[in-house]
Amino acid sequence: MLQIGYIRENRDHVIERLRVRNFAAVELVDEVIALDEQRRQLQTESDALAAEANAAARQIGDLMRQGKREEAEAIKAKASGYKDQQKKLADALAAAELQLHEKLVLLPNLPHQSVPKGMGAEDNEVVLEHGHRSELPEDALPHWDLAARYDIIDFELGTKVTGAGFPVYKGKGAKLQRAMINFFLDQAEKAGYREVQPPILINGASGFGTGQLPDKEGQMYHVGIDDLYLIPTAEVPVTNLYRDTIVKESDFPIKLTAYTPCFRREAGSYGAHVRGLNRLHQFDKVEVVQIVHPEKSYKVLEEMSVYVQSLLRALNLPYRVLRLCGGDMGFTSALTYDMEVWSAAQKRWLEVSSVSNFEAYQSNRLKVRFKGGGGKMQPAHTLNGSALALPRILAAILEDNQTEKGIRIPEVLVPYTGFEWID
RNA sequence: GGAGAGUUGGCAGAGUGGUCGAAUGCGGCGGUCUUGAAAACCGUUGUCCUUAACCGGACCGGGGGUUCGAAUCCCUCACUCUCCGCCA
């Protein structure tokens, strides 16, 4: 979340920045500032009263030690009144803090200067396009038909076991999945990321830390009996590894990678574009996360973008990079690049990665801090990116590499699959 | 799941209800000594809120209670450890 001190001192700037998201912030920002004012007022009163009560208690202690019992009793009688007053003020203060917090978490992150204004996907800025969009013959098949023809993904079977959006990968399909996971993890390790295997169920505090809660409550699967959530992305458990920690400045940059399954309810998103692998409730993803010095975060964002692109190049997939506009960007992000691969048979772009700089928005909630210049504690910056999400990559590979002989496996994956063709 | 023990500063580890934000050791930082380093010695060393600053306030796992006053007593929750049960 945003820092209250920053909002207090930069009201107009905050409002102006949030306009880029089409977020009408005037009312909320003013409310937050008023609540903060109230909170500080109560804090001051409460502190003054506590100081008085403390002084009285100390005095009683002194008198008792000197054996002046009667004098002590006199003060005692007076001091007993503090309790109710203190309780009243403490309650008011707690209520004010709660109200402030409730409003504060409703404010999304401030977009970076370079974020274009816009409403939705159509306003995203194409930063670059790489490779040629393949021209396939007329009888080329979309991946769901290819999956059926070669018996490598079974959507119906998954529906029986669980429900729609939970495919079963079979034979070479399953093996190709495993190959991609290993390839992506190996590449990440070469790029300096340390591999971790985090839990794939998280508690509410973790969900709050990275910003999924309360904003996207309905998008996560919730295990009611234990009050845990299935992760929608490895970002959540991996970034939360550093919740409530003070990082040594010399430990920057912290670079982590993890493979996990991801679970998303995708409530309300049905239609033509969710066929096949396009949108699933469970899918596999390798994620990269960095925790860095604030001065470095935008350089690191570019580095992560280049890294993700290197994977797409290695797989020989035509792709483009988008700079998301204010209206399309996630709640917690300051700047996001989306990478999309060209689905040759569907003739449309598929998002396979999203790389974001959250600046201090997450670390304020997470309390990931370091002691900066002058010995002052300050929040670190967090970033993450998909590297990569598997299903749409698989879709693109199947569609783009289909031939009369079968589907050709990208060269870099052959050492991992052990076969060159799906036929 | 059952029974018991525990949770204190970066770590280890004291702490009779009143000067405890907390002994001591280690670690960290600064200094003396040294050609340099080590050792030794001296000093220093938490976070947060409020404030221009001083002052003040909060924090000894979380929450609540008793009391003029709680790290210390009571309740409750979470977690850790030991034993038993179950189990990939």
Of the candidates A115, A38, A133, A39, the one whose C-alpha atom is nearest the C-alpha of residue A341 is A133
- Is the CB of A162 within 7 Å of strand B? no
Q: Is residue A265 part of an annotated ligand binding site?
A: yes
Going from the C-alpha of A261 to that of each of A201, A234, A264, the distances in angstroms are: 11, 8, 10
Please report the pLDDT score of residue A211 as a whole number. 86
* A409, A401 contact by CB (below 8 A): yes
Q: Is residue A353 part of an annotated ligand binding site?
A: yes
Chain B bases near protein CB atoms (7 A cut-off): 10, 18-19, 47-51, 56-58, 64-65, 67-69
- Is the CB of A201 within 7 Å of strand B? no
DSSP string of A25-88, one letter each residue: -HHHHHHHHHHHHHHHHHHHHHHHHHHHHHHHHHHHHHHHHTT-HHHHHHHHHHHTTHHHHHHH
Enter the tokens of residue A303: 């580095």
Please report the pLDDT score of residue A389 as a whole number. 94
Please report the pLDDT score of residue A269 as a whole number. 63
Q: Is the peptide bond before A388 cis (omega within 30 degrees of 0)?
A: yes
User: pLDDT truncated to tens, each residue of chain A (423 aa)?
Assistant: 899 999 999 999 999 999 999 999 999 999 999 999 999 999 999 999 999 888 888 888 888 877 787 888 888 888 888 888 888 888 888 888 889 988 998 999 999 999 999 998 899 999 999 988 888 887 888 899 999 999 999 999 998 888 889 999 999 999 999 999 999 999 999 999 999 999 999 988 888 888 888 878 888 998 887 888 999 999 999 999 888 888 888 888 999 999 999 999 877 666 656 788 888 999 999 999 999 999 999 999 999 999 999 999 999 999 999 999 999 999 999 999 999 999 888 888 999 999 999 999 999 888 888 887 667 788 899 999 999 999 999 999 999 999 889 999 999 999 999 999 998
- Is the CB of A46 within 7 Å of strand B? yes
Query: Which helix (H) or strand (E) element contains residue A402?
Result: strand A402-403
Q: CA A324, A329, A333, A339 torsion: positive or negative?
A: negative
- Is the CB of A121 within 7 Å of strand B? no
Please report the pLDDT score of residue A270 as a whole number. 63
Q: Which fold has domain A4-104?
A: Helix Hairpins (1.10.287)
Name the pairing type of β-strands A222-223 and A228-230. antiparallel
A307 CA – B48 C1', rounded, Å = 39
* A282, A329 contact by CB (below 8 A): no
**Residue boundaries of the structural domains of chain A:** 4-104, 121-422
By the 10 Å C-beta count (0-12 exposed, 13-18 middle, 19+ buried), A53 is classed as middle
CA distance A346 to A141: 9
Enter the tokens of residue A383: 């970033």
CA distance A335 to A30: 25
CA distance A134 to A260: 31
* A93, A42 contact by CB (below 8 A): yes
User: What are the phi and psi torsion angles at A146 (to 5°)?
Assistant: -65, -40
Which CATH architecture best describes the domain A121-422? 2-Layer Sandwich (3.30)
Q: Which of residues 371-410 of A touch strand B (CB under 7 A)?
A: 371, 375, 377
